[in-house]
Amino acid sequence: MDKTPPVPRKRATAAERSQNVRSRLNPLLREGDVLYEPLDSSAPAQIVRRVPSTRGYKDLIEWTICFAVVALLAVLCLRYVAEPVRVDGKSMLDTLQHNEFVLVTKYDYLNENPHFFDVVSCQYNQEGDSFVKRIAGLPGDMVELRAGDLYVNGTYIPQDFLTRRGTFDYGPVIVPDGCYFVLGDNRINSLDSRDPSVGFIPRAHILGHVRQVVFPFSDWRTVWDLR
């Protein structure tokens, strides 16, 4: 009897085992699948289907919605609450200085009309340019300047806060319904309702109420209406 000892089988390496499993399962594999081979070689190998991730698209949608909401709130705030406006020029000296930034509130005039002597931001035209002036005449008022002194409906209006009133005569004029008469505090150098190119300001062209000087910070102060 042949008692030649059996030749021990060579144990397959992990790489060889993985290759063998892949060769058996190759027809079942597709791009994007993950082959899971358990540590226990007696357990069958499994194919784990990889589901395409949609997280990137969800993040993009969430950021888009967030940006749209923030933009909408900013637009609503600027239109109905308040906005900063830069003073350009010297027409409102000494109340406001050139290049100062003022806070213009919008909510003041949502349910009521501007008052006499309010300092307002207004438009002279449809081109979007805005100007800061003081209301010196309401709808139906008769406005007149006599040697720089202001008279409204024949009544003298003190203007002790003015240092540049000039000695001009103007009027009298009647402010039409739905319109306002505006003047700069620097009467010597101001383009306002006295000029035919400006005239009376329609109510829709009064954008807001000038409340505070907010920049430069060292000059932070309230803009008094002085009425």
Catalytic residues: 91, 133
- The beta strands (E) that lie in the chain are given as 34-36, 46-48, 82-86, 101-105, 119-123, 130-137, 142-146, 149-152, 155-157, 170-174, 179-183, 201-202, 206-215, 221-222
Distance from C-alpha of 142 to C-alpha of 154, rounded to nearest angstrom? 7
- The beta strands (E) that lie in 31-148 are given as 34-36, 46-48, 82-86, 101-105, 119-123, 130-137, 142-146
Distance from C-alpha of 186 to C-alpha of 163, rounded to nearest angstrom? 8
Instruction: Please tell me what DSSP assigns to residue 33.
Output: -
Distance from C-alpha of 174 to C-alpha of 182, rounded to nearest angstrom? 13
